[in-house]
Structure 1
Amino acid sequence: MSSNAEHAALFRRLHTEGVLRLANAWDAGSARLIETLGAKAIATTSAGLAWSRGYSDGDTLPFAHLQTAVAEIARVVRVPLTVDMEGGYSDEPAAVADHVERLVGLGVVGINLEDGAGTPEALCAKIVAIREIAARNGFDVFVNARTDVYLRGLAPPEQRVATVLERAARYREAGADGLFVPGVTEADDIRGIANGAGLPLNVLLRAALPPIEALEALGVARLSAGSDLAEAAFGQTRALAAAFLADGRAGPGPRSAYGELNALFTPRD
């Protein structure tokens, strides 16, 4: 099998072997570090990646910058790579499908694609276009359809499970492989979505979430850290830099990490 086929098959299988934990990276350095800790796959955070390139989150990142960042990540990691594409960086389904094909050419085997504040019809059209170009050009990609029903409060609390399931059915029919529902935390809601979606369920790390063992019992296939790690890294850098600029000291923090970090990027056979 080709590298794409092998990694795509592995990535699909990881969604059937307990809860896949994705500690989202934001650049090549963070991706390589996360890989060395035993990550079975690498996922990106759109927010952290955008910040690392000097842009805000929310489809403002030029696609060329995403390509560059993904190529850098793919060069240093060997586990399957999935990329958060926000809304696909275009409203045109054909353009989104072309973007996906370009990322697959760099080594990507999975993507996140969200409905955000848009319509389910718009996301369905993008998924269909991706499936068509994948079938035409012979590549595999795991499409994780994200719905923001909970994150954006797009339905009253008592209607959110039903609204998510309605969207899930449409995204599944369009060709989605997984369902990402950031913001859901209640056990009953998670169980209802997992049982009714017909797709592997991905949830976003939140303090109110049940523990990992309970998530697996509820039917969750995938847990994402989202932007949490990037936010923490930027926050720590801000605190240390502020201390240094104030009194010439960097404050408490890890020391003597240069050699360890530098070794992460020694060429591997």
Structure 2
Amino acid sequence: MADPRPSITDKRRSFRQLHESGCFAIPNPWDIGSARYLQSLGYKALATTSSGFAWSKGYNDNAVPRDTVLAHLNELVEASDLPINADFESGFASGLGGLADNVRLAVETGIAGLSIEDSTGDRANPLLPIDAAVDRIRAARHAIDKAGGDVMLVGRAECFLVGRTDLDETIARLTAYSMAGADCLYAPGIRSREQIAALVAAVAPKPLNLLIGHASPLTMAEVAELGVRRVSVGGALARAAWGGMMRAARMLADEGRFDAFADAASGVELDDFFRDDRRRRQLG
């Protein structure tokens, strides 16, 4: 009997098609359970979250070893029928050769997309010089093309996240990454309608990913009207889960009270969901 689950090629093809028109949400699970639940809600694609996964493993963001991240990517690809976009941080290598090797390893996990950011982790010099960042996008592009070319490359400009809120610099970086081979562009930290519209126009006709990881007044419909093609939430779903756990645990520790459990998900509902999900996958 043929496997009814979509192949890696199918996932990558559908992922590219999602970026061709309209606007879609691409939420960020941090483990198998959250990925399968999000899939059940009808989303068309998922993206990993470096922060959400790091916290689940007891790390701070950007501190998880490369091989642990690669195993996580493989796990989510196997767990979900949806295309997976990888938050691949800055590529886990300082040199271009190492970056290319790591991108190849990520592609081999079966992901449909992969992002490379331009941050350094150095507070004194938080962003790579633009020429160096462009070289890294080119190296990632070459590695993807050598592996077959069907994985989407996302170029990330981290300017606003590190306090460099000059929109012109962000636009210059994104357009340079686009010319270097990025298929989709992304500038986390952008919030205002004016900023969003400016970035959409600057990178067109290529798609823009917008991060909304806060209680934004914008809706998906309004974001779509601005020309955004996809919306991710980063670590927001993981933070929401952590927020509920932390509030309940602190209330119990500080006050000896259990009130916060009133908002907890039903254990019966969760068991029923995962039981049915497992059966569907076994029968499928």
| Shift in Å, 1:243 | 4.7
Query: Are positions 1:12 and 2:16 aligned together?
Result: yes
After TM superposition, the structure 1 = structure 2 runs for residues 31-46 of structure 1, keeping only pairs within 5 Å, are 31-46=35-50
Alpha carbons of 1:241 and 1:257: their partners in 2 closer, same or farther (altered >3 Å)?
farther
Query: Are positions 1:86 and 2:89 aligned together?
Result: yes
Distance in 2 (CA, whole Å) between partners of 1:128 and 1:218 is 29
Distance in 1 (CA, whole Å) between partners of 2:171 and 2:24 is 22
Query: Are positions 1:62 and 2:70 aligned together?
Result: no
Instruction: Look up the match of 1:189.
Output: 195
* Of 127, 140, 146, the match for 1:118: 127
- Superposed CA deviations along residues 86-137 of structure 1, whole A, max 9, x for unmatched, are 1111212222222222122121010121112222223322221122222323
Question: Does the aligned pair in 2 maintain the 1:109–1:141 contact within 8 Å?
Answer: yes
Equivalent position amino acid for 1:149 in 2: C
Instruction: Look up the match of 1:28.
Output: 32
- Superposed CA deviations along residues 153-193 of structure 1, whole A, max 9, x for unmatched, are 3144xxx1x22221122101111011111111221221111
| Shift in Å, 1:260 | 2.0
Query: Are positions 1:130 and 2:130 aligned together?
Result: no
Instruction: Look up the match of 2:261.
Output: 251
Where structure 2 has 5 or more consecutive residues not aligned to the other structure, the ranges are: 1-5, 120-125
| Shift in Å, 1:56 | 0.7
Instruction: Look up the match of 2:248.
Output: 240
After TM superposition, the structure 1 = structure 2 runs for residues 125-164 of structure 1, keeping only pairs within 5 Å, are 125-156=135-166, 160=167, 162-164=168-170
The TM-score with structure 1 as length reference comes to 0.89
Identity over aligned pairs, percent:
30
Instruction: Look up the match of 2:233.
Output: 225
- Superposed CA deviations along residues 40-59 of structure 1, whole A, max 9, x for unmatched, are 0010111001111221102x
Alpha carbons of 1:217 and 1:247: their partners in 2 closer, same or farther (altered >3 Å)?
same
- Superposed CA deviations along residues 212-264 of structure 1, whole A, max 9, x for unmatched, are 22211111111111111000111212233445566484721222234224323
Distance in 1 (CA, whole Å) between partners of 2:256 and 2:165 is 50
- Superposed CA deviations along residues 14-56 of structure 1, whole A, max 9, x for unmatched, are 1123212011111111111111111100101110011112211
Equivalent position amino acid for 1:257 in 2: E
Which secondary structure does the structure 1 equivalent of 2:114 belong to?
A: strand
Distance in 2 (CA, whole Å) between partners of 1:207 and 1:244 is 27
> Would you say how many aligned residue pairs link Structure 1 and Structure 2?
263
Equivalent position amino acid for 1:223 in 2: V
Q: Single out whichever of 33-42 and 253-262 deviates more from structure 2.
A: 253-262
Distance in 2 (CA, whole Å) between partners of 1:4 and 1:93 is 27
Query: Are positions 1:49 and 2:53 aligned together?
Result: yes
| Shift in Å, 1:13 | 1.2
Alpha carbons of 1:105 and 1:71: their partners in 2 closer, same or farther (altered >3 Å)?
same
Instruction: Look up the match of 1:72.
Output: 75
Alpha carbons of 1:155 and 1:244: their partners in 2 closer, same or farther (altered >3 Å)?
closer
Query: Are positions 1:201 and 2:201 aligned together?
Result: no
Question: Does the aligned pair in 2 maintain the 1:74–1:106 contact within 8 Å?
Answer: yes
Question: Does the aligned pair in 2 maintain the 1:185–1:209 contact within 8 Å?
Answer: no
What is the RMSD of the two structures over their aligned residues, measured on CA atoms? 2.1
